[in-house]
Structure 1
Amino acid sequence: MPAAKAGIIPPSQIPRSALPDPITSGDPLAEPLSARIPVAPLRPSACPGLLRIVPALDGGICRIKLPGGVITAGQAFAVADAAEHSAGGVIEATNRGNVQIRGIGADHEGLITTLLEAGLGPKNPASDDVRNLMLSPTAGVDPEQLFDVRPLAAQLLNTLETHPRFHELSPKFAVSLDGAEGVAMLEHPHDLWLSALNVEDETLLGFGLAGCPATGSPLAAVSLDAGHDLVVAVLELFLEHARPDQTRMRHLLADMPADQFLAQLSERLPHSVRHDQKVTTWRRSPIRLNAHIGFYPQRHPDFTSVGAVVPLGRLNPSMLRSAATLAVELGDGTVAMTPWQSLMLRNVRTENGSRAVDGLRKAGLLCDADQALSQVIACTGSAACGKGLADTKADALQLAACLQREGVSQAVHLSGCDRSCAAAHVAPITLLAVSAGRYDLYFRHAEQPGFGELRGRDLTIEAVGALLTADSRSNTDD
């Protein structure tokens, strides 16, 4: 291992006892490594996992699913080491609150071993694909939450990993658990979403199928103590009725109406299910825009969370090590990855908040929502993806520089093809590549399908910058 850089704590000096994981329970390192290495080939899939490295133009991709989006400082050092020693040094923050390593060379076994030894693998190799449970990065510490979702999340993750039938789920089948936090991704569609709500002075868990709380109301609701049984029953019912080609909840609902699904679900649950008007007309309160960037208050007034955007979703090992070091020195020893391709340090004493921001900025992260680059996301693009029609990362940097000069900061998504890999939901503004350096421009519109309303065809980045600048000024000037 290379000598430690100034200001960086070597992983050997980080006490594991000081790095609690608020989601998982037990010690994954207590298991022998051989118990966590697959003994049989995993099922074919185009989705990368920790145990399945998928090829791309720039090398292999390994996706590491983090429980609740949380990674300990020691684990972050292990990811940085793996990216440095077995790959090209590119670490990506994903839009599901995970991380992935790109550019992996021939040493797949060495990289996987490093990650497993850090406790980043599944309890059961067959469960690696199905650990798709999204939480708020401020779960447990958020002043707006109605309940702490972390104990339920730990129970659900354990069930997903240990229930063999659930290993049949698609790697894309996903669940979200929303405790009404002020920092929450509400727009990503999920196969099953759960949101805490207050009805008649009681906190319930509303749930919906094949959608999201930003645009939908609950199908029904159960008590908080019924949350685990509810998720298990939904997944079992899905697997019983879905054909092999129906890998997502929306596919099943095309044949089986939601009301019919709910009726069968109610019959098998030992808990009462509420689907009266007070539940089915409830709507989730929107969150504050860019709440994941900069300072965010916690329930305890002496502590704060500090968020920083990963530029275009890409970290290098030094950036990740710096964030992990700050987490140990100023926070709780963990880094929370977010669905906005950013990260948060939590449980930072309020008087240390400015030190945390300064440290994150020095590491190359973006802590100000007014920075144009903090609002821009881009897929891998043609530089590393065979389907990409343009070098979206390079074009995104050019566009961000143009917008910054004009004092404009807008949420923009650059996609190299129509698969929209960088954004799980439709962004306010989408640039869809049509050829190298040229894009169709879309503005999200509630009544328009896909990316929204087409506002320009075959535009250069300079032309897009001019249009977005003009649009921004026309929307803000009297």
Structure 2
Amino acid sequence: MLAAMPDSAPSRLSTGGPVPSGSGDACPGTLRLHRADDGALARVRVPGGVLSADRADALLAAAERFGDGELHLTSRGNVQLRGLDAACGGALAELLTAAGLLPSAAHERARNIVASPLAGLDGGHGREGSPALGRLLAELDGLVCGSAAAASLSGRFLFALDDGRGDVDALGADVTLIAAGDGCLLRIGAEDEVFRIPSGEGPRAALLAAETFLRAARDSGAWRVKDLPDDVRAELVRTVGAAAGPAVRRPRPRTVAPPAPGPHGSADAISVDVPLGRLTSAQWRLLTGTARRHGDELRLTPWRGIVVPGPFGRPEDAADALAALAAAGLITAPGSPWTGVGACIGHPGCAKSLSDVRAEAGAAVGPVGRLPVYWSGCERRCGHPHGEWIDVVVTPDGHRISHVRGERRDPPQTVRDDPAALAAAVAAARGRSL
């Protein structure tokens, strides 16, 4: 199984010490809460999306004690707690530190690591690489927390660990490690050229790339590799490549393939999607209880879903678990109308949002479309997906609908104040049912 920082890892948290400001980076964390219209917001980094059942219980306890009682999944496999009292910061930090979820005050916003959630579970690329990928995750998280320089990484900077299937490689991370035979490949940003390195050197190479980026970004103020000027980015790749290994060409995947909801492997795991990424306390308890009865682990995905590793013993046991989760309102099969539907928090939770996009997304739900759709309440488009999707953005002139393919965007269509016409336009843009 994948493994995050071990429970025995020493804590470097010092709640009385200074927390880096991030040079203007406003990404929320756990120690620096973000003010929203529905209360304060905390974003808890969960490297690789990997949670033990006990740590999942701690997150729910924090949501119920300090917030609105719900857990909100992000597009990086992290968890947001909303509706918090702005004065709860110290007590929240204590609770999360005791659970092992906050190993370093200085690095809590830098621990952005996504990993292939089905590694080792479905008989595919990940089965052979799962133990190695788990070690890479634990080592990379530890190296990031142990690097004084890495504390300056923006909360937007992203590491990815891909088991070879290309799922998280397609997300456009700043530094990506890809399992490849008995070694791994290192990708910087969206470059088609990758560097072959021994597997055991992967985490240290990834950290070196991040630290080199920080030096390259000093004058530009860039928070991510893609923000660097072209010549600076090219020099960064040359510098990292000189310290890594031989270069090979491997274009980054353009299509994102999240785990399909349902069973995987021979009762090795089950996967569920979460409508709009929002989990009630009852749903979270059901998921945590399911994990505790089987593999004692949850894997939060960058597509606002959750994988529960088994073993489940028999296919019938996996089917029973999925039936209970479906009855609780989670997506357990690809044919759900909610499959592929996402949205930002919208109004009234966000003051910048021009409408209640979650309600609008729910009103427009119909037969599942060929493409995912994401609704944004303003031009910031917080949490939008990667790859190919239908982008719905609220503007003062109406809802702008466009087809996005990576960096390309088709000419948009704008629908004004007509819910029926809006639903029809979104359905048409998404294409025929799968």
Matched AA of 1:295: P
Specify the alignment match of 1:280 in structure 2.
249
Deviations 1:164-190 (A, max 9, x none): 1111111111111111147x3343221
Higher-Rg structure is 1
CA RMSD across the alignment: 2.7
Residue in structure 2 matching 1:464, options 422, 425, 431: 422
| TM-score using structure 1 length | 0.81
Change in 2 beyond 3 A, CA 1:225/1:178:
same
Check conservation: 1:21, 1:334, Cα contact below 8 A.
no
Report the alpha carbon displacement of residue 134 of structure 1 after superposing the two structures with TM: 0.9
Change in 2 beyond 3 A, CA 1:290/1:255:
closer
Write the distance in 2 (CA, Å) between the matches of 1:164 and 1:446.
Answer: 34
Write the distance in 2 (CA, Å) between the matches of 1:435 and 1:366.
Answer: 33
Specify the alignment match of 2:379 in structure 1.
418
Corresponding residue SS for 2:54 = helix
Write the distance in 2 (CA, Å) between the matches of 1:447 and 1:88.
Answer: 36
Change in 2 beyond 3 A, CA 1:305/1:399:
same
* Unaligned runs of at least 5 residues, structure 2: none
Change in 2 beyond 3 A, CA 1:76/1:447:
closer
Change in 2 beyond 3 A, CA 1:126/1:394:
same
Specify the alignment match of 2:209 in structure 1.
234
Change in 2 beyond 3 A, CA 1:348/1:463:
farther
Check conservation: 1:430, 1:442, Cα contact below 8 A.
yes
Write the distance in 2 (CA, Å) between the matches of 1:447 and 1:46.
Answer: 24
Superposed counterparts of 1:210-229, under 5 Å: 210-211=189-190, 217-229=192-204
Specify the alignment match of 1:363 in structure 2.
328
Write the distance in 1 (CA, Å) between the matches of 2:129 and 2:428.
Answer: 44
Residue in structure 1 matching 2:187, options 191, 194, 208: 208
Report the alpha carbon displacement of residue 42 of structure 1 after superposing the two structures with TM: 1.6
Specify the alignment match of 2:260 in structure 1.
292
1:80 equivalent to 2:60? Answer yes
Deviations 1:126-181 (A, max 9, x none): 01111111101123434222623111111111000011111111111111111114
Change in 2 beyond 3 A, CA 1:410/1:162:
same
Report the alpha carbon displacement of residue 464 of structure 1 after superposing the two structures with TM: 2.4
Change in 2 beyond 3 A, CA 1:138/1:399:
same
Write the distance in 1 (CA, Å) between the matches of 2:253 and 2:384.
Answer: 21
Write the distance in 2 (CA, Å) between the matches of 1:119 and 1:257.
Answer: 36
**Percent same amino acid at aligned positions?**
26
| TM-score using structure 2 length | 0.89
Report the alpha carbon displacement of residue 238 of structure 1 after superposing the two structures with TM: 1.8
Specify the alignment match of 2:286 in structure 1.
322
Report the alpha carbon displacement of residue 461 of structure 1 after superposing the two structures with TM: 3.1
Matched AA of 1:236: E
Matched AA of 2:408: Q
Specify the alignment match of 1:119 in structure 2.
100
Aligned residues: 423
Check conservation: 1:21, 1:72, Cα contact below 8 A.
no
Check conservation: 2:212, 2:240, Cα contact below 8 A.
yes
Matched AA of 1:150: G
* Unaligned runs of at least 5 residues, structure 1: 1-19
Matched AA of 1:344: V
